[in-house]
Amino acid sequence: MEKFDDILVNHVGEFGRIQKLHFFLVCLTAIPCAFHSFANTFISGSPKHHCQFEGALKYEDDAIECAIPWDSDQDEWSKCKEYEQYNITSLNSNSDFNCTSESDEETECRSGWLYDRAIYGETVVTEWNLVCHKNWMRQLGKSIVLFGKLIGSLILGQLSDLFGRKKILMFSLLLQVTCGVLSSFSSSFPVFITFQFLLGIASLGVYLTSYVIGKDIQLYVKANVHRPAETVNVTESVGPSWRTFVGISIAYFFTIGYIILAGIAYVIRDWQNMELALSLPGVLFLSYFWIIPESPRWLMTKGRYEESIKILRNFAKINKTSLPEDCLETLKAIKTNEHAAKTENIKALFCTSSAMRWKTLLIGFNWLSNSMVYYGISFHTDSLGLNPYLAFFISGAVEVPAYFVSQLILKRLGRKKVICLFMSIGGAALLLTAVIKDYKVPVLIFAMIGKFCITASFGTAYLYSAELHPTTVRNIGLGFSSICSRVGSVAAPYILLIGDYTSIVMPLILFGAQSLLAGILVLLLPETQNQNLPDNIKEADEYKLTMCKQLCTGNFTTDDYRSVETKDTKV
């Protein structure tokens, strides 16, 4: 009996024109997702500032030394203090002045702040004075979007399984545009962060459902027909030569959005206009309602066979192929077999065996570390260079070769060695910023080396996690790893807050230590390259070498998954 993937390969076409078009279109939606994920780097940008004092009309007025104390620790005028008593008297129309100070006592800013407009225009920070004792609110603006993504990952993934990929995609696209536009008209900071939170949910919904739809389209590529039809997952059903590519492809489009954001932010310095410019183009994606069909695979799982067949016949027609007459009966039989395979729940990750529990926790910690360092460096670019727009652009640009290089060496080194290599090198580069902290350009270079490495590792982690978990809990395992990733990203802005009170390299040092630790710990996991993926937890537990034995003997080689290597499983 033919399997669903056999039908797609033999009768619809492996990866025909219509599949390529749909795949390209859904990948495009990752671009605005990148916009809203990182927009607060500029929207919540904090320019140089000091207390507003009498007679000052611009930042760093000539009379500043009369009113503002010098902060020797930060090597700049104090941002949050002014002298308690001072007197500035203008002598003539040429702005000559006489300055007298009656006390060296310092006090908090009493008349607000003056901001340096050389780099940033109007931002959320200058709009509501989110400086000094309110500085934590600036980081809240960054983390609230990522917290929205965490909530979205818990809700929208389940809703897409319940109501369909297309409906949730269209709902998320509409919510993304609406909240982005309304956010630009926010009248207060609480209103602003409310819309930013909803933007996070919407962006996750767009990216998640686009990725799922993309996976279903990618499954049209020739499948590994030596494996039985099981739970739908890109790493299970995609042909060997495509398994690496399909796990990373949509990330390239996310990086394109990352890079474009630097240009938009450079041209549009006002935060409200910037938010509008980032949100309004999303209206174009609403046309997908008439262009992108529902996933035939999802329709099949819901028993809507006729609708699934109708879409497949349309694909076949465009690809100049045809479906067999008995296709309906085949789909019904496949659905019954696939339903029987979905028997596990999240308890199986932690309660079935100690090996599965440790693997789940270790890969979860790796995801948390990857995401924390990735978003931390991305948000920290406004503090790393003389030009935050250029630093942000470079931070995005290094992702393209990072993904490419990781794909090239995956075949040679394997999953866990690639992750360990990149996370260790990246961690070491970030730790070295402690030695060169007084030199801005070298600090920026080493930070970008860290960003390159963590991006390469991040791109590999998803593929590795999918292959590490057995079929019956693979989607659940990926869901748990994704939650760990979101927790790490939410924490990243608050680690950056430490730098405001210490040094700009302190967050980089903390990120470096986290990356190095996670890179070393991944060696305790089994390798999945050139191995048949485990179908159940029992097969996965054939990895017998314990963590204790590895740590005590220093032997990090494993028997891994003890299944027969075949030509079809090589990547």
108 plus 220 within the same structural domain: no
86 plus 165 within the same structural domain: no
The secondary structure of 284-332, three-state, reads HHHHHHHHCCCCHHHHHHCCCHHHHHHHHHHHHHHCCCCCCCCHHHHHH
35 plus 100 within the same structural domain: no
Q: Is the pLDDT of residue 251 over 60?
A: yes
The whole-angstrom separation of Cα 74 and Cα 481 is 39
Q: In a 10 Å sphere around its CB, with 0-12 CB exposed, 13-18 middle and 19+ buried, how is residue 160 labelled?
A: buried
The whole-angstrom separation of Cα 306 and Cα 475 is 27
pLDDT at res. 217: 60
pTM (predicted TM-score): 0.82
Report for 9-13, 349-353, 479-483: range of highest mean pLDDT: 479-483
313 plus 458 within the same structural domain: no
388 plus 505 within the same structural domain: yes
The whole-angstrom separation of Cα 15 and Cα 12 is 9
Q: Domain of 336?
A: 1-47+117-341
Residue tagged 């024109």 (tokens): 17
Among 325, 341, 357, the domain boundary falls at 341
Query: Using an 8 Å Cβ cutoff, are 265 and 389 in contact?
Result: yes
58 plus 13 within the same structural domain: no
Report pLDDT digits (tens) over 151-171: 988 888 778 878 888 899 999
The whole-angstrom separation of Cα 154 and Cα 160 is 11
The whole-angstrom separation of Cα 386 and Cα 383 is 8
pLDDT at res. 534: 62
307 plus 351 within the same structural domain: no
Q: Is the pLDDT of residue 62 over 60?
A: yes
Beta strands in 390-529 (DSSP E): none
pLDDT band at 243, cuts 50/70/90?
very low
Report pLDDT digits (tens) over 484-502: 999 999 999 999 988 888 8
Residue tagged 């300055």 (tokens): 99
pLDDT at res. 264: 96
- Min mean pLDDT across 129-143, 182-196, 487-501, 540-554 is at 540-554
Domain count, the chain: 3
pLDDT at res. 340: 46
Among 87, 116, 145, the domain boundary falls at 116
User: Greater confidence, 14 or 130?
Assistant: 130
Residues listed for the chain: 571
- Min mean pLDDT across 170-179, 215-224, 448-457, 556-565 is at 556-565
Among 322, 341, 360, the domain boundary falls at 341
90 plus 207 within the same structural domain: no
**Residues of the chain with pLDDT > 90: what percent?**
38
CA nearest 507: which of 402, 416, 377? 377
pLDDT at res. 221: 38
Query: Using an 8 Å Cβ cutoff, are 311 and 327 in contact?
Result: no
The whole-angstrom separation of Cα 152 and Cα 28 is 20
What mean pLDDT, rounded, does the chain reach?
A: 79
pLDDT band at 327, cuts 50/70/90?
low
Report pLDDT digits (tens) over 215-242: 666 544 333 323 333 333 333 333 334 4
pLDDT at res. 423: 95
- Min mean pLDDT across 266-270, 283-287, 358-362, 452-456 is at 358-362
The whole-angstrom separation of Cα 474 and Cα 18 is 29
Which amino acid makes up residue 66?
C
390 plus 262 within the same structural domain: no
Domain with residue 252: its CATH number is 1.20.1250.20
39 plus 68 within the same structural domain: no
> Tokens representing 27?
């990948």
The whole-angstrom separation of Cα 274 and Cα 280 is 10
| Neighbour tally for 101: CB within 10 Å | 15
293 plus 378 within the same structural domain: no
Which amino acid makes up residue 60?
E
CA nearest 204: which of 490, 559, 566, 434? 490
417 plus 556 within the same structural domain: yes
| Neighbour tally for 302: CB within 10 Å | 15
For residues 546-555, give the mean pLDDT.
46
| Angle in degrees, 0-180, between the axes of helices 165-184 and 135-163, rounded to the nearest 10 | 160
Pairing of β 113-115 and β 86-90:
unpaired
Report pLDDT digits (tens) over 455-481: 999 878 877 877 777 766 666 777 788
CA nearest 526: which of 465, 466, 468, 472? 468
Report pLDDT digits (tens) over 516-541: 999 999 988 887 776 665 656 666 66
pLDDT band at 506, cuts 50/70/90?
very high
Largest distance between two CA atoms of the chain: 97
Q: Where are the alpha helices (DSSP H) in 113-233?
A: 124-128, 135-163, 165-184, 189-218
pLDDT band at 273, cuts 50/70/90?
very high
Report pLDDT digits (tens) over 353-401: 777 788 889 999 999 999 999 999 999 988 876 689 999 999 999 999 9
